């Protein structure tokens, strides 16, 4: 593999952005294994201040980092800037979360002893990052892992390695030891080698359900290793009993088409009350026809950039055609204005009449629409998925939200808000095929350190009061 390279190109232009030789998982894990104990031995305050310096390094490089993320992912500058801001904010959120979720506790016990609860790092953690938020999402694993005293081997997506490399450069510029944050450049083979490496103590993954399920099976024989899976969703947004159709349409469009639909929390299915259907669809058609799709630096600023590459655009086009061939009715076709580039206009398709709707995460700007006349049926349709990440209800009726919240199967349940835009200051995760009950964001501290319970006394005292023969 030494003579192979990973090459990153700009989705919007096809220009080569970055290239570097493929790395070696054995070497990176060995470096992390050699360094982690020294980092773990440092006081928490030392590690926290180092990560605060990291936030300052990113802040100083914010413009360059924003430009790189925009070029490598294709997302608009305004959205890339928001990602960099999230990277910076993650440090203070993680410090607060660590103090809250893994605080040292002491409890008085009988006979002058005490019970102590403290936390230890796992050791060497592997992090596999996605391409849609190539800095923010892996950073959401790496910062809590480093704070807890772990060393990290990070393999960014082969589609966005430049952003991952810049993130690692920022950690090192802040003083995180080189051995404690390692960059593994590579593709699927390197990812598999890292995940299966005997010297990692756990894996923190963000990506597709297909890969997450394979990792879950691979780790079934290794209960000694922590596995945190953050996967996708076939997320529903339900519009019911609301007089403000215009606002409802905006919330649906934001849910479905922000980031060109390349968010795990994006709305994939719109379930709409029958009497609101015509008005809502008319508003959505008007709104989506106004959405600007363009390259990251375009003026006026686009709402959407391209999807990540031509392969993704081709797969989405095939998926849209498959929906049409199986009973879907196009409301707005999936248009590709430049044949050789992965720009796609937002698409909507009515799948109400489909007998067997596919339970897939179509990772792009395709919204499936289902018309319904009974609210309980709407909830049942929303729950008709193996996933369970995000769901939202747009309604002016509190009683309906109470029913929705109580019965919907999802880790993120919103009311009159988009399905996406989750806060780093709260736990983030799903059920079913969306995760393995290891929520990230504010709860990431839970899988970056494990609790140790100690029953302690300064002097040894013991007696056996029953069951002994007279001596």
Spell out the SS3 assignment of 232-278. CCCEEEEECCCCCHHHHHHHHHHHHHHHHHCCCCCEEEEEEEHHHHH
State the catalytic residues.
Answer: 230, 264
Read off the tokens for 96: 């607060």
What's the confidence (pLDDT) of residue 3?
Answer: 59
Q: How many CB atoms lie within 10 A of CB 380?
A: 13
**E strand segments, 292-376:** 329-332, 347-350, 366-372
Taking the C-alpha atoms of residue 106 and residue 114, their distance in angstroms, rounded to an integer, is: 7
What's the confidence (pLDDT) of residue 2?
Answer: 42
- With CA atoms as reference, report the closest residue to 314 among 349, 296, 351, 341: 341
Torsion sign (Cα): 218, 221, 225, 231: positive
What's the confidence (pLDDT) of residue 51?
Answer: 98
Taking the C-alpha atoms of residue 282 and residue 254, their distance in angstroms, rounded to an integer, is: 16
Taking the C-alpha atoms of residue 14 and residue 312, their distance in angstroms, rounded to an integer, is: 14
Domain boundaries, the chain: 5-231+435-456, 235-415
Q: How many CB atoms lie within 10 A of CB 309?
A: 17
- With CA atoms as reference, report the closest residue to 306 among 341, 258, 347, 266: 341
C-beta of residue 436 within 8 angstroms of C-beta of residue 216: yes
Read off the tokens for 386: 């193996």
What's the confidence (pLDDT) of residue 394?
Answer: 98
Q: At CA 62, angle to CA 71 and CA 165, rounded to 5?
A: 60
Report DSSP letters for 95-128, one per residue: HHHHHHHS--EEEE-STT-EEEEEEEE-SEEEEE
- The fold for domain 235-415 equals Aldehyde Dehydrogenase; Chain A, domain 2 (3.40.309)
Superfamily of domain 5-231+435-456: Aldehyde Dehydrogenase; Chain A, domain 1 (3.40.605.10)
Coil vs helix vs strand at 89: helix
Q: How many residues does the chain have?
A: 471
Please check whether the two domains, 5-231+435-456 and 235-415, share a CATH topology: no
What pTM did the predictor assign? 0.96
DSSP 224: T
Read off the tokens for 74: 């294709």
Task: Kindly list the distances between the CA atom of residue 257 and the CA atoms of 119, 253, 344, in Å, as whole numbers in the listed order.
Answer: 41, 6, 11
DSSP 443: G
pLDDT < 50 positions in the chain = 1-2
- With CA atoms as reference, report the closest residue to 233 among 204, 254, 203, 212: 212
What's the confidence (pLDDT) of residue 303?
Answer: 98
Element (H, E) at 168: helix 161-173
């Amino acid at each position: 593999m030494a003579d192979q390279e990973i090459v990153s190109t700009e989705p919007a232009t096809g220009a080569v952005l970055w290239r570097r030789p493929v790395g070696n998982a054995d070497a990176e894990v060995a470096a992390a294994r050699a360094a982690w104990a020294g980092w773990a031995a440092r006081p928490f305050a030392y590690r926290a201040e180092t990560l605060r310096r990291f936030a300052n390094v990113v802040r100083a490089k914010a413009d360059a980092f924003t430009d790189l993320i925009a070029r490598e992912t294709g997302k608009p500058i305004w959205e890339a800037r928001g990602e960099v801001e999230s990277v910076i904010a993650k440090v203070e959120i993680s410090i607060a979360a660590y103090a809250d979720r893994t605080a040292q506790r002491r409890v008085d016990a009988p006979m002058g002893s005490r019970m102590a609860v403290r936390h230890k790092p796992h050791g060497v953690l592997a992090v596999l990052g996605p391409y849609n938020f190539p800095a923010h999402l892996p950073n959401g694993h790496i910062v809590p892992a480093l704070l807890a005293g772990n060393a990290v081997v990070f393999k960014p997506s082969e589609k966005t390695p430049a952003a991952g490399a810049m993130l690692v450069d920022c950690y090192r510029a802040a003083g995180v030891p080189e051995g404690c944050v390692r960059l593994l450049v590579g593709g699927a083979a390197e990812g598999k080698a890292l995940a299966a490496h005997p010297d990692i103590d756990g894996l923190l993954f963000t990506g597709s359900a297909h890969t997450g399920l394979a990792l879950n099976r691979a780790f079934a024989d290794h209960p000694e290793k922590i596995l945190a899976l953050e996967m996708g969703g076939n997320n529903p947004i339900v519009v019911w009993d609301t007089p403000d159709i215009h606002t409802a349409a905006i919330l649906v469009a934001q849910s479905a088409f922000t980031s060109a639909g390349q968010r795990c929390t994006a709305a994939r299915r719109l379930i709409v009350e029958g009497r609101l259907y015509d008005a809502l669809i008319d508003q959505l058609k008007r709104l989506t026809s106004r959405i600007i799709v363009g390259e990251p630096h375009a003026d006026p600023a686009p709402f959407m950039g391209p999807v990540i590459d031509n392969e993704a655009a081709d797969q989405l086009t095939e998926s849209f055609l498959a929906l049409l061939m199986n009973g879907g009715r196009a409301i707005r076709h999936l248009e590709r204005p430049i044949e050789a580039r992965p720009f796609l206009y937002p698409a909507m398709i009515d799948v109400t009449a489909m007998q067997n709707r596919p339970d897939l995460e179509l990772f792009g700007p395709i919204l499936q629409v289902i018309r319904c006349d009974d609210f309980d049926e709407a909830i049942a349709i929303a729950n008709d998925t193996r996933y369970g990440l995000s769901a939202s209800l747009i309604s002016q009726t509190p009683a309906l939200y109470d029913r929705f919240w109580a019965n919907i199967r999802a880790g993120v349940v919103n009311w009159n808000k988009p399905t996406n835009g989750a806060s780093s200051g709260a736990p983030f995760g799903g059920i079913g095929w969306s995760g393995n009950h290891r929520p990230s964001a504010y709860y990431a501290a839970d899988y970056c350190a494990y609790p140790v319970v100690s029953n302690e006394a300064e002097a040894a005292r013991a007696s056996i009061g029953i069951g002994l023969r007279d001596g």
